[in-house]
Amino acid sequence: MLATLVATSVILSLLAQYVCNVLSSTPLATRYGARPPFLKKKTGKRFLHQLPFAVLALCLFAPVRSDEWLPATATFYGGADGSDTMGEACGYGNLYDQGYGINNAALSTALFNDGAACGQCYVIICDTSKSGWCRPGKWVAVSATNFCQPNWSLPGGGWCGPPRPHFDMSQPAWENIGIYSAGIIPVLHQRSKCWRDGGVRFTIAGVNYFELVLVTNVAGSGSIQSMAVKGTSTDWIQMSRNWGANWQCLAALAGQGLSFALTSTGGQTIVFQDVVPAWWQFGQTFTTYQNFDN
């Protein structure tokens, strides 16, 4: 039986990787990694019936890299409908409008990385070996959209103090894996590929010689490593992270069409050529048709 399960797991993993690569035309090696534990121990007719859904799940949550599952803790906030998780430290504002939805989380200092983790995706399960308050076999995928600040009135800054890895999740997301009355649970987590509808979006704020560009709806690794802007009358200008998912540039670009060059934390670079017309105004958002695979 064990040999059968191992062989079945290998076949399923290879099939899922093949389907993912056909759908997205990315190298097989970029999707290799540990399978989410909810796909284990599926046998017989039930397994066969669930095979298409398992393949789809593997595509959706293919790890960005082949890391092991890492331990952390998780609490929840934002109310039963998650409405109080909108906005906050990544600058996304309405998470529905920006493509992130209700399955979101605020990350502790160790995970947030001064905003560099904004937009990243994680698969999270409750660690049943450490708690009786888990929902066994359940999992949830969340996007990083906020910062869980340390509470320095508590020893070590509390659950979100460094160097503790902690997820303060929206309540609807958290209740997928934990029983409400527990309040806090031990979890295992892993980075996963982000899937977004449509292309990357750019929202331009600022004044005169200061442009602040919010980058949203990033797929693949979910987050941006570096960014540059080019006006119709300028060379490429390197931008720097201001806060969260906001990138800044000190240049007079008003009245010029704009192009952006982004490199994701997965190492993929995309040039968004002439994505902003010369008539742009501060406060406007521009949607593209391009997005990241890594």
Pick out the chain residues at pLDDT < 70: 1-67
DSSP state of 91: -
Q: pTM, whole model, 2 decimals?
A: 0.79
CA distance 64 to 30: 7
What is the C-alpha R_g of the chain? 21
pLDDT tens digits for range 91-134: 999 998 898 999 999 999 999 999 999 999 999 999 999 999 99
Helix (H, G, I), strand (E, B) or coil at 95: coil
> pLDDT value at position 208?
85
CA distance 230 to 213: 13
* Residue 40 neighbours by CB distance under 10 Å: 10
CA distance 244 to 106: 12
Q: Would you say the C-alpha torsion 229, 232, 236, 238 has a positive or negative sign? A: negative
For residue 212, what are the β-bridge partners? Answer: 205, 248
Residue 144 contacts residue 90 (beta carbons within 8 Å): yes
> pLDDT value at position 103?
96
- 43-77 burial, b if ≥16 CB within 10 A, otherwise e? eeeeeeeebeebbebbbbbbbbeeeebeebbbbbb
For the chain, percent helix, then strand, then coil, each to nearest 5?
Answer: 25, 30, 45
> pLDDT value at position 17?
43
DSSP state of 86: S
> Closest by alpha carbon to 104, among 48, 258, 93, 114?
93
> pLDDT value at position 99?
86
Sheet containing strand 201-207, edge to edge, reads 240-243, 246-249, 210-216, 201-207, 285-287
DSSP state of 178: B
* Residue 270 neighbours by CB distance under 10 Å: 18
Q: Which domains does the chain have, with CATH numbers?
A: 2-60 (no CATH), 70-192 (2.40.40.10), 201-287 (2.60.40.760)
**Residue with the two structure tokens 């064990």:** 2
Helix (H, G, I), strand (E, B) or coil at 282: coil
Residue 268 contacts residue 253 (beta carbons within 8 Å): no
